[in-house]
Amino acid sequence: NAGVTQTPKFQVLKTGQSMTLQCAQDMNHNSMYWYRQDPGMGLRLIYYSASEGTTDKGEVPNGYNVSRLNKREFSLRLESAAPSQTSVYFCAIKAGAADTQYFGPGTRLTVL
C-alpha cells in the first residue's frame, strides 16, 4: 500500500459518538487525501491536504474535520457520527511528478 498505514482497520460506533481515523505515510510526500467508498458510488473525496498545515474540502466534507499537524500524518475526525457515515474510508498520498495517488488499506466504519 505504498507506505500508507491506516488505523483502525474496523470500527463500530453508536450514533452521536466521535472518533478519529488515523493515516500515516513513511515517504515524506506533501499531498494526502481522505476518501469514502460506498457501494455503487465509487470513491468520493472528503478532504485533502496539499502540504503540512493546509487542508481543503473535497466533494463530501459535511460531518467531517481533518487535521494535518505534520507532514507524515493526516487524521479524519467524526465529531458526532451518523448512520449515513457508515462507509469504508481510504487515505491516499500523491507521489511522483503527476496526480498519481496511492491508497492505504482502508478503515471499515459502521455507525449504528
Q: Which residues bind other proteins (CB under 8 A)?
A: 1, 4, 31, 33, 40-45, 48, 50, 56, 58-59, 90, 94, 98-106
Give the nearer residue to other proteins in terms of CB position, either 76 or 106: 106
Give the nearer residue to other proteins in terms of CB position, either 13 or 95: 95
CB 81 within 8 A of CB 18: yes
User: How many alpha carbons lie under 13 Å from residue 59 in its C-beta half-sphere?
Assistant: 9
Q: Of 72, 21, 81, which is closest to residue 49 (Cα–Cα)?
A: 72
Q: Tell me the closest approach of the beta carbon of residue 99 to other proteins, in angstroms.
A: 5
Give the nearer residue to other proteins in terms of CB position, either 56 or 79: 56
